[in-house]
Amino acid sequence: MESGKNFIVGIFDDESVLLSAVKKVRGSDVKIHECYTPYPVHGLDDELGYKRSRISIAAFMFGITGTCLAFLMMIYMMGIDWPMIIGGKDHIAIPSFVPVGFEVTVLLSALGMVGTFFVISNLKPYGKPRIYDIRSTDDKHVMAIDLAKNSKSSDELNAILKDSGAVEINEKKF
């Protein structure tokens, strides 16, 4: 974690105020570092200009990998390495490989996607989050603005935040 970074932290009471505030703040040429909310606020990602998450593509790729691995494994084991006749079925009987193929697809897809989510969002056991305001996991919405990334002074930012409905404005150093 870099040290000596200064943030202006605006605290909001309500999601609809936050949404309009994000619009206003971005409209007055201020770069928002990130917003922190106690629950998923719908439409916030659009207001902040975030693109749609591509994590579902990761899930699909992991799923396809699972299907292929499962079928290759079963075909190799039952058909190539040690072929046996069981219940009069073909050695490589695709219909009886479907259930396991499906389960492995789901398993790999789910685990792969969640693993990807943890890695890209930097979530790990005993991960240390940067907390701008401790109430952001309870009932307050928090907007953090990085002073170094904006040309405006902290007084100007304070005024913009106040104007857009922040109930409290703090400065936070990391």
Partner 1 sequence: MEVTSPVREVLVTGNKTYHDVSHDICRHVEAKPNPKWMAAMALSLGALFVGGYALAITLWDGIGMWGLNKTVGWAWDITNFVWWVGIGHAGTLISAVLLLFRQKWRTSINRAAEAMTIFAVICALLFPLIHTGRPWLSFYWFVPIPNTWGSLWVNFHSPLLWDFFAISTYFTVSLVFWYIGLIPDFATIRDRATNKISKAIYGGLSFGWDGAAKTWQRYETVSLVLAGLATPLVLSVHTIVSMDFATSVIPGWHTTIFPPYFVAGAIFSGFAMVLTLMLVTRKVYNLEDYITINHIELMNIIIMITGSIVGVAYITELFMAWYSGVQYEQYAFLNRATGPYWWAYWSMMTCNVISPQLFWFKKIRTSLWATFILSIVVNIGMWFERFVIIVTSLHRDYLPSSWAMFSPTIYDMGIYLFSFGLFFTLFFSFAKFFPVINMAEVKAVLKSSSGEIENKK
Write out the residues near partner 1 by the rule CB under 8 A.
Answer: 13-17, 34-45, 48, 50, 52-53, 55-56, 59, 63, 73-74, 77-78, 81-82, 84, 86-87, 89, 93, 96-97, 99-100, 102-104, 106-107, 109-111, 113-114, 117-118, 120-131, 134-139
Q: Are 167 and 12 in contact (CB under 8 A)?
A: yes
Position 73, amino acid: M
Q: What is the DSSP letter of 147?
A: S
What does R_g of the chain's alpha carbons equal in angstroms? 25
Closer to partner 1 at the Cβ: 27 or 153?
A: 27
CB of 27 to partner 1, least distance (A): 17
Residue with Cβ nearer partner 1 (126 or 173): 126
DSSP β-ladder status, 34-36 and 168-173: unpaired
Q: Cα(36)–Cα(17) distance, rounded to whole angstroms?
A: 14
Q: Which of 123, 121, 162, 139 is nearest to 28 (CA)?
A: 162
Smallest distance, partner 1 to C-beta of residue 12, A: 10
Tell me how far, at minimum, the Cβ of 155 lies from partner 1, in Å: 26
